[in-house]
Amino acid sequence: MHTLLSHPLYHEMAAQSASSTTLSHVSTRVEVQGIAAAIMAEATSTVAAGLTRTGWVTSWGIVLCLSGWWGWVGANPSSLGAGSSPSCPSINDSFSAETVPEFRTDIVHNEFIVKFSGFYEETARKNYINAALAAFDGHGYEIIERTNPMARYPSDFDVLSVADNIISQAIESLQSHPLIKSITPQRRVTRTLKEIPVAPESSESSHPCDNPPDPLCTQQTPWTKGRRSLNFGSSFWNSVGRHSSRRLLRAVPRQITAVLQADMMWEMGITGAGVKVAIFDTGLSKTHAHFRKIRERTNWTNEKTLDDGLGHGTFVAGVIASSSECLGFAPDAEIHVFRVFTNNQVSYTSWFLDAFNYAIMKKIHVLNLSIGGPDFNDLPFVDKVWELTANRVIMVSAIGNDGPLYGTLNNPADQMDVIGVGGINFDDQIARFSSRGMTTWELPTGYGRVKPDVVTYGSAVRGSNKDGGCRSLSGTSVASPVVAGAVSLLYSGVLHRGSVINPASMKQCLMSTARRLPGVGIFEQGAGKLDLIKAYQCLNSYTPQASLSPNYIDMTECQYFWPYCTQPLYYGAMPVIVNTTIFNGMSVSGKIVEQPVWHPYQPQNGELLEVAFTYSDVIWPWSGYLAVHITVKKDGANFDGLAQGHVSLTIESPMEEGDLIPRVSNIRLPIRAKVIPTPPRAKRVLWDQYHNLRYPSGYFPRDNLRMKNDPLDWNADHIHTNFKDMYMQLRASGFFVEVLGVPFTCFDASKYGTLMIVDAEEEYFPEEISKLKRDVDNGLSVIVFADWYNVSVMKKVKFYDENTRQWWIPETGGANVPALNELLSTWGIAFGDTVLEGDFTIGDHDMFYASGTGLVRFPMDGVVITPTTLKDQGHEVLGTPTSVEENPKMPILGLYQSQGTENGGRIAVYGDSNCIDNAHLSKDCWWLLDAILEYTSAAHMPSVFLDNAGVPVKPADALPQRMDGNLLHRYSKVLQSNIGDNQHSAKILPTCPHLKWVAAHPLNRTAPSNLYKAQRLLSLNIEAPLPPYHRQELLKKSDGIGFEVDDWIGAQDSRVFGIEDHLSWTMFWIFCLLCGVCYVSYKYCRTRFRLRRRKPRLPKLMPAFPGPRNI
């Protein structure tokens, strides 16, 4: 089983990128190869048809401290004009308010981003486009002029407007040009805030989310048994439990810098001087009293202002570099303000791409990006982030405010080369709003990486207010500038170390010195809480090297190594995958030499483990991955105990300046695992991950139609993400759960008692259907949790795509019911297309059905449960009235003993997965899951089902059909193409992957009892005392007198551009004065030293020569 990042195109393009990453300012062409373009092309090659379906390409909104859900609501795109969004309340409003955030994203009418393979001058880019579109003779398209600071420099993209009637042909022609890499639609994201005025705060020191919350504060949201508020979404204040028990409460500090001991570094003279920090946000006023080194402000929006109309950009800048009142970490750092969001909170893909290019050109050191979204397949954005870090820009980004749900990481914080930051409160607890790992890029065949990287304070942090004074805000977009400010401060203290400090070495020191929070999992805290002073000590003594995260694997260490520590290894199980991240502090590129080696420890039974590896062929930029696959040998089938060893690998990087040989770093990865005898078949459950699809890239809707503010299914449907609580329930009940990331044809059904198919959107190979029939006949039981499906409802919850004047309709419903019906047809079982919702009871158990489906075919000798209180939600969605008498009476739960053989398995089907899904969970049904498993694993029918059994189902004549013209084949691993009339052609069944288990190199040694304390970066002395203090009056310094601010508002700006810096007005007048002095001097010299003109001497000499004379 290979991870997504082992895609061959990744390695091919990474190798090219690693060897050709250069950047010039004006005249030199930039040759940074884009890896993302080629990797994503297979899944997103839909532009030729005129409809790019890569998901919301610019689903990037500011992850403001109050950012609740990240939702998209289909609406009339024309309503999103430049001034159509309600204005966001200013942070400094005189009253407080509860704030409800709303996001909307749409496609800009007929605009496309044309990405080139390199950086070219404007004229060259124009010529390339014109050459590609020569057939149109210059008609029907227009290159949109960009009036931002990058307009005069080489660029790697253009924005093109194309007429409706030539879109498909134009895109096809552009794709055929050898220097054009990709064409993606220009997208716009809009964020609005709605106010509900409430009474003012009682005091400044009161909790910012208490009586009442700040307009930009995380909301205190009602949760009832895990249900998210429909109004406020998924951003919440983390309660410290003061109403449930008596405890000592920590006071909220006035200065975040004091908590992290930044003042100790100030006293050493380290204040951020010499560091350029970029703030991508809503702008900043250059006259704000808190800042003394605003070096440059640039506007990338279509508004002619540089000031912050919202207050978020001011707050973020204050946390990083404020010099008075609410202090920032690096008050002497050069602030480069990038205004990328309008006052209506609108932004475009092209704005970010241009701004990123400008940041590279200005040689920015640290970049804070308090934005994010779930679309890790956003090709232009991901590619440009890689390019930024390859050019030594240290990017810090918020992981998102979608917690406490797992699998909710935002991009770009989930990228390996970016420092992803989570939030905690001042009681050192993970904030409820903070998103959790794992990453989901690698699913279904692999396993996610660890994120966040570090956590820090993000709740009730004080920062600069827009019009002066301070405010307290919360969210991961607050935690992100805390880390960005700390990184800027650290960077300024080690500038003398030169190229040793880079995105990888900075990240290594932040993570290796972080303080681990007790009782918190790795996917919640990453390496732990930021420790500023130890990070500084680490950077001072850092030796370039490679390292791993996590740097050891201990499957017995709970809670930190959840979920690995929750289930032991045993013979015959699917291999456990631990996906570690490689950080290469030696160079931007590198590689693993030969192959990692497994060293089992003989005294500690390490030889019972089998190990295989998949890993990055090229480590670029600054990072790669090592996936460790672990299982138990047959010799350990009856073993009960610990098995230990370590993996060794060598990273090699090219020579840097002054090196005589390539740089090499040797890494050791200790492994400890608990091994038990193989459990009985009845206790082994197999989770089908292969047939789950989600956003990105296709439009796969939420399973609960009530979730209008969060309609996309993007949490991966994994047992360790949104089905986390279900997994823990199964483990508590004594079941062992394994994950199937390959087709049904690739697992041995004789090992498992139950196969779980939950919320499946994928189709099935014919071979899978026939194999499952044989497996059930041989004793395998199957549990199916379906979801709603109705073609009319799918068409109702559509989005309008202005590129092709077509509606973007879901690829399936909540589940792919037609595919499930084909899978279950052997047993005469089928779901219908009635969308059901409502409360009901089964025995003494109260239940809630949230947008589910019912059974329309079921064997007569089976047991069905038929509630009488459910309503047809489809009528409500479609707007057709119904009466209580018309409410459907149809079964929702069916249990059947297969009759194919004497030892046949059992089948249980239920029409709604909401009650076991943490995403928008309404009311859990763990009792129902336990009862169903009692039936499938032990062949015992619980009495609650027999006592409440309904009448048999009258088979329906017609079954739900696939929607005509659906585009599921573009995202399917099974379908090849849509051939029309509800028919698809299937791909060839892939061969089953077989891991190559490495040969063991045993060692006669033992591992220390505590692997965590034994792991450290090489050659570091983080316990050394700090240098002597040189106390200065930091806060009494001048407010930047004589420090000129470069402002760029737009095309009407009359400033003159230079190669590096722009001429200031002072220089302009000096130049004029010098010109005047030169002119006056010239006139004076011409008048004072003018000589009389002499007569020519030739006529006087003529008489001396004989000859005729003319008289």
Residues annotated as catalytic (active site), given as ranges: 281, 312, 477
Give the β-pairing of 975-980 and 97-120: unpaired
697 burial level (CB within 10 Å; 0-12, 13-18, 19+): buried
d(CA 370, CA 477): 5
Q: Which residue has the tokens 């009892």?
A: 1009
Q: Which residue has the tokens 């054009």?
A: 180
Q: What Rg, from alpha-carbon coordinates, does the chain have? A: 33
Tokens of 73: 């609501």
d(CA 36, CA 40): 6
Tokens of 242: 């003061």
Spatial neighbors of 769 by CB under 8 A, at least 6 apart, are: 822, 823, 826
Spatial neighbors of 253 by CB under 8 A, at least 6 apart, are: 259, 426
| Start-to-end CA span in the chain (Å) | 116
The total number of residues shown for the chain amounts to 1111
Give the β-pairing of 799-801 and 806-808: antiparallel
According to DSSP, residue 701 is labeled: B
Beta bridge partners of 625: 581
d(CA 258, CA 369): 24
Q: What are phi and psi of 462, to 5 degrees?
A: -90, 135
According to DSSP, residue 472 is labeled: E
CB 432 within 8 A of CB 403: yes
Whether residue 574 has a cis bond before it, omega within 30° of 0: no
From residue 73, give the alpha-carbon distance in Å to each of 29, 102, 707, 722, 1085.
41, 9, 10, 22, 76
Closest by CA to 368, choosing from 304, 438, 418, is 418
According to DSSP, residue 634 is labeled: G
In what side-by-side order are the strands of the sheet with 609-615?
546-549, 576-584, 623-632, 609-615
- Which element (helix H / strand E) includes 103? strand 97-120
Give the β-pairing of 863-865 and 893-897: antiparallel
d(CA 760, CA 968): 13
Cβ count near 1107 (within 10 Å): 5
**Long-range contacts of 1032-1041, Cβ-Cβ distance < 8 Å, separation of 24 or more:** 1032/266, 1032/267, 1032/269, 1034/266, 1034/271, 1034/323, 1034/331, 1035/323, 1035/324, 1035/327, 1037/292, 1037/323, 1038/292, 1039/289, 1039/292, 1039/323, 1040/291, 1040/292, 1040/293, 1040/294
Cβ count near 1109 (within 10 Å): 7
d(CA 1073, CA 20): 46
CB 783 within 8 A of CB 755: yes
Tokens of 343: 């006052």
Spatial neighbors of 189 by CB under 8 A, at least 6 apart, are: 56, 58, 59, 60, 61, 103, 104, 105, 346, 347, 373
From residue 374, give the alpha-carbon distance in Å to each of 51, 410, 450, 741, 921.
20, 5, 16, 22, 20
d(CA 879, CA 796): 10
Helices (H), 988-1049: 1011-1014
Cβ count near 793 (within 10 Å): 23
Beta bridge partners of 841: 846
